[in-house]
Amino acid sequence: GDSVKLRYGDKKEDSPWLWRYMEKYTCDMARLFHGFRIDNCHNTPLHVGEELLRAARHVRPNLYVVAELFTGSEEKDCEIINRMGISSCVRELSQSHSPRHLGELIYHYGESKPCGSFVQSTLSADLAGGPHQSVKLVPSRPHAMLMDQTHDNPCPFDQHPLPNVLALSGLMCAAKCSIGSNRDMTSWYPITSTSLTRRDSTVVRVRAERRL
């Protein structure tokens, strides 16, 4: 794979230097940026993520944390989100395998509101009643950041014809949740590195495709 595993141990005393180094690095990044993207978050030890994000939020309390979180279980996703304080999970529309699946993704992560809906939500209507209006709190799904494609996806034109790509971006923009794209990045960096392999004890990147 393309991830390096560090031995944090079960507590700071198990690897004091590593914990100090990573806390300093995390706090430095929090001073520079308003948000983090946690790659491979589902393989990050929970106690490590909790502690490092806690340190980052001492520097920037309103830090926005986006996570690549693919556990295969919404219950497990919720546990990680709640413990680490994740703002949004990355969800890729380019991975939808049919129009029905695409619609389900947009509806599911769009707070179950019709795409492009102007219908006033019940919560907004209740809050408009005044400061003493009671509001019923109900469970909600994990918040998502829908992306037409991410940095490690193939070029969209390798997966779909041009009209499909434009429609995908349009539907994403109408969804009732956070959205994002790296489309501009792929315009000036047209190389996709797609896999890693081991040869002669050296990890080398072996496949690169020139994007259109």
Q: Mind telling me the catalytic residues?
A: 39, 42, 152
* Gap between the Cα atoms of 139 and 85, Å rounded: 16
On whether the CB atoms of residues 122 and 112 are closer than 8 A, the answer is no
Closest CA to 142 of 76, 97, 44: 76
Largest Cα span, the chain? 70
* Gap between the Cα atoms of 151 and 147, Å rounded: 10
120 three-state secondary structure: coil
